[in-house]
Amino acid sequence: MTILVSGSIALDHVMVFPDRFKNHILPDKIHILNVSFNIESLKTHFGGVAGNIAYHLRLLGEDPLILATAGNDFGPYAEWLDRHGIRRSAIRVLDEVPTAQGFVTTDLDDNQIWAFYEGAMARAHEASAEDVTEALDLAIVSADGKRAMIEHARTLKRRGVPTFIDPSHGLPMLDREELLELIDGAAAYIVNDYEWALTLQQTGCTEDELVARCEAVVITLGERGSSIRCGEDRIEIPPVRAVKLVDPTACGDAYRAGLAYGRVHGLPFETAGRMGSLLGAFQVEVEGPQNLSIDLDAFRARFEREFGSSF
């Protein structure tokens, strides 16, 4: 199966704060916020939502194709993708700018504060979906430059490719009409619970009105699992308890890869959502967004243990 994954390619600088943000942020002073967190660890990983989703799809034996832009420091990341058999022929390398950079601080409650430097991602529209001519079984339009997200979604839906819309941190860039256009006709609109509240606010639509615009709305709820609205059906996906909690970075990207795997193989949203929940649990058990090492057999065996059924 060929799954096109568009979105950011980035270097993630991951920092762990050995305390809780809530102990250092005064709620009545957020209008004059000025805080500093002393960090005990800093590690740099290959990341970005497109890279992370593609990596997890590859673990399950899929053939993802990344559509993105990268910068003049992309060499080591390119070698990493090649080593893991992840196609990068649709990644356009821009020599004038660095690759996008993400800076995340995680506290002991797994809350995260991100800062993101766009770099090459600001020109993501220069890697066009129009140039991808091969047959696609599914596409994911993830957080990217605004123009890229809109143009990729238009092209893919016009071609009849089932397309997941996953705006994540790109959501605030979109105005009402742009966001509604992305949702219209999507094979799934995927957000976390905060982003869902923001979606309702930005569009001024009710939940039912937005659900009617696409095949499904998928809302991830952290430790509470996820909820999928598909027409009149509301499917509650239980969380999978991680063996150990190491790092929440890319847990959401792993969920999206599991969901995409299930749907591209024709499985119902309930099964696909459980796949996403399980792959997310695997991911939080390791440090870094692309360090998980499993195969489909291990994934299938744990799925049977967790849910009492196979797929």
Catalytic positions, please? 253
Please name the residues in contact with 183: beta carbons below 8 A apart, sequence gap of 6 or more. 165, 189, 203, 210, 213, 214
Distances (CA, A) of 254 to 47, 166, 232, 257: 12, 13, 27, 5
Residue 59 has which token pair? 């673990």
Q: What are the phi and psi torsion angles at 16 (to 5°)?
A: -115, 125
CB atoms within 10 A of CB 97: 17
Amino acid symbol at 262: G
For residues 276 and 148, what is the distance between their CA atoms, to the nearest angstrom?
26
Q: What are the phi and psi torsion angles at 23 (to 5°)?
A: -80, -5
